[in-house]
């Protein structure tokens, strides 16, 4: 099957300002569009045989490009489709979906909720495509895709082979995976294992894990609520922060959360103000008992001290760090078209005519303020093309 190429017949633009949700960036050297898995394999073969650099672009919600553009090939992932797979040997309530990489992620969640399938309802409203979801290990409101991802179909750049990669080999962590860390190739499809509610007339969500969401629903942590009700609550929460794409909302013209929540050692977290939000990532280590002088005197056998445990890790709130470093909502550098969202300090928005460099300049300013105030270096979440922080 022949690929679609940007020759005016595809309806796809070639400027990143028209291909990304933050609406900045210059032109691509050329654009290939893959509307099926076969087309993606074909255009990848054409691209990888040549000398040009290449990049993938799905929904464009996690990419910021300079005004210089990208003098290479952009492969637009536009494949669509959701298929229900057989699951022999799985529990009776397990339902496995195979989703094509270009399918809108929120459309996947909508499909699951409308069919009474639980496991991704708290990930409602996240922009982008299904194929990008495991690359970032997307997560929100107490759920991560790692919890339901069974496998991906992957076109490997090094070998040119199409392989099935189980979730266990993807190195899924907080907003990362082996693909994000440098495993080159294209996610062609993803397999999700969801759970069908026992109550088919009123299908329930997975247990609510996130306090803000529980408060919005008027329930307690661990409670279940109707799937559709939870989805509506999540979308309302995201919209209140400008985190749902909306042509009428200038705060949604962004790349989503610009910085990941920092993960630091517990000792580093203790240097922050007591009110700074923090979430331990592992249970408390048990103290190692060591024989004391008094015990030796009473005849207790000598016990060798064990090696010290790994330092406990703590996740911090990047939004809290930003706001408490003196960077307020709506803040912009003089003369810049980029600004902090008026509703959430974690998002950098294009207030009209911003350039990629202006976005990066504001991000650098935020980094410097947080590092100066708290000694924490924030890391960007979007892919930056020809831009540096």
| Residue 183 is among the residues annotated as catalytic for this protein | no
Which of 68, 110, 147, 381 is flagged as catalytic? 381
The residues, any chain, with a CB within 8 Å of residue 107's CB and separated by 6 or more, are none
What are the distances in angstroms from CA 174 to CA 8, 140, 146, 194, 380? 40, 11, 10, 21, 13
Extract the tokens encoding 273: 């103000």
Query: Is 224 in a helix, a strand, or coil?
Result: coil
How far is Cα 329 from Cα 340, in angstroms, rounded to an integer?
A: 6
| Residue 121 is among the residues annotated as catalytic for this protein | no
Which of 96, 175, 224, 329 is flagged as catalytic? 175
CB 184 within 8 Å of CB 157: yes
How far is Cα 206 from Cα 220, in angstroms, rounded to an integer?
A: 13
Which of 257, 323, 341, 357 is flagged as catalytic? 257
| Residue 323 is among the residues annotated as catalytic for this protein | no
* Residues taking part in catalysis: 175, 257, 381
């Amino acid at each position: 099957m022949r690929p679609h190429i940007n020759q005016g017949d595809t309806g796809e633009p070639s400027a990143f300002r028209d291909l990304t949700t933050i609406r900045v960036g210059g032109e691509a050297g050329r654009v290939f569009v893959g509307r099926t898995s076969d087309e993606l394999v074909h255009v990848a073969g054409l691209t990888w045989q040549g000398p040009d650099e290449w990049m993938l672009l799905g929904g464009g919600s996690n990419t910021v490009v300079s005004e210089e553009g990208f003098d290479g090939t952009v492969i637009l992932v536009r494949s669509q489709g959701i298929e229900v797979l057989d699951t022999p040997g799985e529990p009776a309530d397990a339902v496995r979906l195979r989703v094509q990489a270009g399918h809108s992620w929120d459309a996947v969640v909508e499909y699951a909720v409308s069919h009474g399938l639980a496991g991704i309802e708290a990930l409602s409203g996240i922009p982008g495509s299904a194929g990008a979801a495991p690359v970032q290990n997307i997560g929100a409101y107490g759920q991560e895709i790692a919890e339901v991802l069974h496998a991906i179909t992957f076109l490997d750049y090094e070998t040119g082979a199409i392989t099935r990669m189980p979730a266990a080999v993807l190195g899924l962590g907080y907003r990362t995976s082996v693909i994000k860390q440098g495993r080159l190739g294209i996610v062609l499809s993803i397999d999700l294992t969801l759970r069908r509610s026992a109550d088919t007339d009123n299908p329930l969500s997975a247990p609510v894990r996130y306090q803000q969401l529980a408060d919005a629903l008027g329930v307690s942590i661990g409670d279940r609520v109707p799937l559709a009700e939870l989805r509506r609550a999540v979308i309302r929460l995201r919209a209140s922060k400008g985190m749902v794409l909306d042509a009428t909302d200038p705060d949604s013209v962004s790349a989503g959360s610009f910085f990941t929540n920092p993960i630091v050692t517990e000792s580093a977290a203790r240097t922050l103000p007591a009110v700074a939000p923090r979430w331990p990532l592992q249970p408390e280590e048990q103290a190692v008992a060591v024989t004391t002088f008094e015990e030796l005197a009473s005849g207790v056998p000598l016990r060798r001290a064990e090696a010290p445990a790994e330092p406990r890790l703590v996740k911090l709130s990047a939004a809290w760090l930003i706001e408490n470093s003196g960077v307020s909502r709506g803040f912009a550098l003089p003369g810049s078209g980029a600004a902090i969202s008026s509703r959430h300090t974690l998002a950098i928005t294009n207030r009209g005519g911003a350039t990629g460099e202006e976005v990066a300049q504001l991000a650098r300013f935020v980094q410097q303020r947080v590092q100066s105030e708290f000694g924490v270096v924030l890391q960007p979440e979007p892919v930056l093309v020809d831009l540096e922080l």
